[in-house]
Structure 1
Amino acid sequence: MRDVESLLRSTPNTFPTKSSRRAAQGTWKPFRPNSVPDSLFSRPLPFLIFLEQVIRPHDLSYKSRSNTPPPPRRRAGVGPPPAQARYNDVFHQFDLDPVSQATNSRLLSLFVSEIGKIYSRQVTGLTMKSQRRLGKAIRRAKMMGIIPVLSAPKLSGTYRNRR
């Protein structure tokens, strides 16, 4: 081990590279690993410790170092307010239970996308209760084989075929 250390100490740190040419021209600057670029000082970072800064022992603990603020959460897409949903909801207006319409493929096809996905409440504009019951009715219809599982029903006379 000492032989390796003595070998490393005896080898010169200068190699004929661009830096030696720059040193001859006077444009070479030594690399300082402790130097911090000016861009880091332009914004406050929680992990930098500056000279003459008072720090508490707690500031160096794992919990305080890893305790960064959580990223801002995207607000979940919610449907219309209850009054507007009741006004737009066909099931609520006619006092129909969507689950009782599980065999009505024409009605259920209006709430299923081309790839068989149930439209969200944001898209349908139904009340929360009707949306839950509609999802249950569509899943039941898919299990019974009334509507296809991975595509929209191909029905004649629907708005999809009129385009």
Structure 2
Amino acid sequence: MSLNVLREDIKRQMPRRWRSGDVYAPHDLGSVEASKWKTIQRRPEKDVFDMLGTHPIKHYKNLKMMSEFVTDTGRIKGSRETGLRPRNQRRVAKAVRRAIGIGLMPSVYIHPEIQATKLNISRHGY
């Protein structure tokens, strides 16, 4: 394959980034063009717990770790978001439910220190 053909293939796979001042035609907003610019979300390649060599259920007391697998509304994130393999996803879900059931972890409320670390705010608020 020539270099130009490779460039065109790569260019088609890249997502379209609209910037202010871009000029476009009506057919640019159609479904055919939109399918060319579809973004592909990639999940992590390796399971975090396999890399650490630990069992997720042993970490049910670690609120910082468990809060990474829970959404802001208190729902357990799916394996597409976490990148865990099915077995570890079930174990994490069990650990989160255990922490909530024991009362270590709130089901919806996020502790201010954990929220501050997510927002990169210091402990003193400035």
Pair member with larger Rg: 1
Looking at both structures, which has the greater relative contact order when contacts are Cα pairs under 8 Å and sequence separation is at least 6? 2
Counterpart of 1:112 in 2: which secondary structure?
A: coil
TM superposition shift of 1:104? 0.5
Identity of aligned residues (%): 29
- Give the drift of 1:158: 5.9
Give 1 or 2: higher helix fraction.
2
CA distance in 2: counterparts of 1:141 and 1:148, whole angstroms? 8
Q: Please, which runs of 5 or more residues in structure 1 have no aligned partner? A: 1-79
Q: Say which SS state the counterpart of residue 141 (structure 1) adopts.
A: helix
Structure 2 counterpart of 1:147, which letter?
Answer: M
> Segments of 4+ in structure 1 off by > 6 A?
none
1:117 aligns with 2:68: no
Structure 1 residues 111 and 121, CA, compared in 2 at 3 Å: closer, same or farther? same
Is the Cα contact below 8 Å between 2:64 and 2:114 reproduced in 1? no
- 2:91 pairs with 124, 133, 138, which one? 133
Q: How many residues align?
A: 80
* RMSD of aligned residue pairs (Cα, Å): 2.3
Distance 2:111 2:89 in 1: 19
Cα deviation digits, residues 59-86 of structure 1 (max 9, x gap): xxxxxxxxxxxxxxxxxxxxx8xxx76x
Per the alignment, residue 119 of structure 2 pairs with 161
Q: TM-score, normalised by structure 1?
A: 0.44
